[in-house]
Amino acid sequence: MASRQTAVATAAARAEPLSRDVVVDAALRLVEDHGVRALTMRRLAAELDVAVTAIYWHVGNRSALLDELVDRIVSEIGAIRPTGATPEERIASVARSLRRKLLARPHLVGLAHERGRTGEMFQPALAALAQELASQGLRGREAELAAQAIEFHVIGSVILERAAARGPGPGDGHPPADHNAVFEFGLRALVDSLVRSR
């Protein structure tokens, strides 16, 4: 299925003139479908049906291209904004958005970590959480710890869900965990304890 989607997207990309964005978009699809190791300049050129030199012309070398991909995930996560009418809704919306982004882009998240940009990637979401928590009276170290507790809940749920997807089923007669339900239950308990205790 993923290869067919890549082929369709590549055919659409070929209809556009080759540009930096077209190359980066194709690289992103390749990484999402096959992982970072699959991204070579030759393979990318083949996907786009262009000469390898055209890829270098638009994005530089592979390292520069990987930096462009990390910029994408940093930008996507940086665009997360709180939504909702109550403080609880706004805090939970940031956590949910962050979880969705991390689940949707595992290879890019891993790449950002490998390239030393994890802190930069999470900083905007932490700042949004801290601002919402500050509006509820949490300040300084207390607000920082509260935002990190929510961040850890999000990251922990993503790691466990990814591990479960890669591993064998439960096999002990128990139904598989509903990761989303567990995440929501924990998030609600965490946010309620942080906001309603004020």
pLDDT tens for 133-176 read 998 888 889 888 999 999 999 999 999 999 888 876 656 666 77
Note the maximum CA span of the chain. 61
Q: Which long-range contacts (CB under 8 A, 24 or more apart) does 139-147 make?
A: 146/194
Same structural domain, 56 and 88? no
Residue 7 has pLDDT above 50, yes or no: no
Query: Is residue 76 predicted with pLDDT exceeding 70?
Result: yes
Higher pLDDT, 176 or 74: 74
Contact in structure between 124 and 82 (CB atoms under 8 Å): no
Domain boundary among 30, 60, 90: 60
Q: What is the CATH number of the domain that holds 16?
A: 1.10.10.60
- 51 and 12: one domain? yes
Q: Is residue 67 in some structural domain?
A: no
Amino acid at 147: A
- 94 and 187 part of one domain: yes
Domains held by the chain: number: 2
pLDDT of residue 176: 79
Reduced to 3 states (helix: H, G, I; strand: E, B; else coil), residue 197 is coil
Domain that holds residue 116: 72-195
Report yes or no on 65 lying in a domain: no
Q: 25 and 122 share a domain?
A: no
Evaluate whether 132 touches 193 at the Cβ level (below 8 Å): no
CB 91 within 8 A of CB 129: yes
pLDDT at 167: 73
